Amino acid sequence: MPAGRILFLLAVAIGLAACATGITTDSAGAPAMAFQNQALNPRNGGLAIQAGSLRPGDILLSAGPGMQALGVQLITTSAVSHASLVTGDGLVAEAVGEGIRQRTVAQLLDEELTVVAFRHPGVQPVHAQEMDRFVREHLGHRYNFVGVMLQAPFAVERRLCELPLVPAAVRDACIQGVAAIQLGAGRNDRFFCSQFVLEAYRRAGLPLTDADPRLASPGDLLHMREGDVPSIRIHQALQYVGHLKFQAPPVQAQ
């Protein structure tokens, strides 16, 4: 592989590390990234909600400040850089660089710029209980750094599968094929953020997709929402619940 491509992929992988959460702006005061998808702007038909509206099993997708979040958003061409799972009692579970952890929704809101909630309409109490069991079994487990490193070249190569006018079945088969090559050496016993959310649903008996959770980024979860076109086949579109926090893009000077 050419040295230039190796350096590029290494830089991308560093940018993807830790699913980009809890990163502050740099000392030079770099502008924070805002949620760019105007279709999900609560000022444009969206809904502002409070944490009390959340249910166990809800998926929170967020965009954070700083260069790591920017790296995730750029390489995945998405408005989000992190995914977490609501487990109830005001807590969310997530995979970050320090490993699998729980924290309060309030702490998440303090650190992220934009937080949007989505819901699988089929989640029943038994599913939520199984997700909670999965979370408790994995608290403290190590983060999937290998999977994130492998995501870097995969995120580039999969673009060929997502060209306009590619039929859904062909797109899905293409992405699965690229994933088999690029992610084949990854581990299934450690997780990064979106992988962790998908695996929790799978373990609860309510898989969002039959695709390998290792190939999904936070942006892939965003595209699983109603009214969007997912890159990988899904069993059930996610319902938009509302925005817990939103920071509008900065106004450009004329």
* Helix residue ranges, H only, the chain: 3-16, 67-75, 105-111, 125-138, 145-157, 168-182, 193-203, 218-222
**Hey, where are the domains in the chain?**
3-245
Residue owning tokens 């969310």: 92
Please give the CATH superfamily to which domain 3-245 belongs: endopeptidase domain like (from Nostoc punctiforme) (3.90.1720.10)
pLDDT of residue 65: 72
Exposed/middle/buried for residue 196 (C-beta within 10 Å: 0-12, 13-18, 19+): buried
d(CA 176, CA 101): 29
Q: Which tens digits make up the pLDDT trace of 140-178?
A: 999 877 666 666 666 666 666 766 667 777 777 776 676
Mean pLDDT of 108-123: 94
Mean pLDDT of 22-32: 35
pLDDT of residue 104: 97
- DSSP 8-class letter at 251: P
Q: Determine contact, residues 244/50, Cβ cutoff 8 Å.
A: yes
Mean pLDDT of 205-224: 89
| Mean pLDDT taken over the chain | 76
Reported as a pLDDT band with limits 50, 70 and 90, residue 215 is confident
Vertex 54 angle, CA 51 and 55, to 5°: 150
Q: Which tens digits make up the pLDDT trace of 39-80?
A: 556 666 678 899 999 999 999 999 877 555 554 555 555 678
Question: Residue 113 has which token pair?
Answer: 């710029």
d(CA 33, CA 203): 33
pLDDT for residue 117 is more than 80: yes
d(CA 4, CA 94): 33
pLDDT for residue 239 is more than 80: yes
